[in-house]
Structure 1
Amino acid sequence: MKKLNFALAIVTIMTGLMLTSCKPNTEKVQDAQENVDSTKTALTKAEDNLNQAKRAATTEEWQQFKEDTNAKIEENNAKIAELKLKIKNAGKDIDKAYQRNIDTIEQKNKDLKIKIDSYKNDVNSDWNSFKRELNHDVDELGKSLKDFTVDNKK
C-alpha cells in the first residue's frame, strides 16, 4: 500500500510538472514575436551606430580642416613658384625632366584644391576616410617639394 501511494504521488507530481511547464501555442508565438521585436530594435541601434560612425563632420570641424588644407596648398603653390623662378634665374637649360616634374607637382596641387572644393560634407560621405586620404596626399606632395631640390646623383 505504501508503494502504491508513493507511486501515485510521484505520477501526480510528474503530471503536474509537465502540465505547468508546457506552454500553450499562443505563448510560444508571443515569445517568438518578442524575440523578433528585440532583434529589430537591435538592428535599428546598430544602423544608428553605423550612421554616427560615418557621420559628416561638424561645420566647425569641416571649416577648420578646409582652411588648414588650403593654407598648405597655398604654401605648396609658393614653393612651386619659387622653383620656377630658380629655373628661370639659373641662366642655363634645365633638364626637361625637372620641368616635367615641376609641372606634375603643380598639377597634383591643383587636383588637391579641386578635391577639397568639391567634397560634399554629408552623411553619405565618409568624413574620416576623406580626411585621412587628403592629409596623406598633401603630406606626400609636401615631401615631393622638399625632395625636389635634393640631388641624389653622385
Structure 2
Amino acid sequence: MKKTLLTLGLTAFMFGTVVTSCKPSTKEEENAQENLQDAKEEVQEAKEDLVEAKRAATAEEWQAFKDETNAAIAVNETRIAELKVKMKNTGKSIDALYEKNIDALEQKNKELKMRMDSYKNDTSADWESFKREFKYDMNELGKSLKDLTVNNKK
C-alpha cells in the first residue's frame, strides 16, 4: 500500500510539473516578440533612409555643382595658360621639370573636366561620394597650381 501510494503521489507530482511547464507563452515572451518586430521595422526604415541618402542629386543641386566646378576648371585653364606664357616670355631657360609639371597639371585639369562631363546623375551612382572626391581632387589641383609658382630654392 505504501508503495502504491508513493507511486501515485510521485506520478501526480510529475503530471503537475509537466502540466505547469507546458502553459502558453507568458506576457514577457509576448513583449519580447513585439520588441523584436519593432526592431525589424526600424532596421527596414534605416535601410530605406540609406537608399534615400544615396539617391541621385536633385536637378538644381547637380546643375549648381556642375556650374561651380566648370568655373573652377576654367580658372585652372587660365592659370595654366598664364604659366605657359610666363615660361615662354622669360629669357632664361626654364627647367624641363617645370615644363613637365605644367603639362601634368594641364592633363589633370582635362581629366577632371572629362570626369565631370561623363558623370551620370542617376540613382545607381553615389552622388555624395562623387561630390566629395571631386571637390578633393579640385582642391589638390588648385594647391598644386599655387605651389608651382612658389620658389622653393634658396
Distance of 1:71 and 1:106 partners within structure 2: 15
Q: Residues of 1 paired with 2:124 and 2:23: CA distance?
A: 50
Match of 1:22 in 2: 23
Aligned residue type for 1:135: K
How far apart are 1:40 and its partner, in Å? 5.8
Match of 1:103 in 2: 103
CA offset at residue 47 of structure 1?
A: 2.3
Q: Normalising by structure 1, report the TM-score.
A: 0.74
Q: How many residues align?
A: 132
1:3 aligned partner: none
Q: 1:67: how far off?
A: 0.3
Matched, 1:44 2:44: yes
Q: Is the 8 A contact 1:80 1:102 kept in 2?
A: yes
Shift of 1:50: 1.3
Could you tell me which amino acid in structure 2 is paired with residue 23 of structure 1? P
Indicate the percent of aligned positions where both proteins have the same amino acid.
Answer: 55
Q: Per-residue CA shift, 1:90-123, capped at 9, x if unaligned?
A: 1222111001000000000001001111111122
**RMSD after superposition:** 2.7
**Which runs of no fewer than 5 residues in structure 1 stay unpaired?**
1-14
Structure 1 counterpart of 2:81: 81
Separation (CA, whole Å) in 2 of partners of 1:97 and 1:138 = 22
Partner of 1:124: 124
- Mean CA deviation greater in 94-103 or 122-131: 122-131
**Cα offset, 1:22, TM superposition:** 2.6
Is there any run of 5+ residues in structure 2 with no aligned partner, and where? 1-15
Q: Deviations over 1:56-97 (max 9, x none)?
A: 111000000000000000000000000000011112221110
Query: Which range moves more in the overlay, 38-47 or 142-151?
Result: 38-47
1:53 matched to 2:62? The reply is: no
| 1:71 is aligned to 2:40 | no
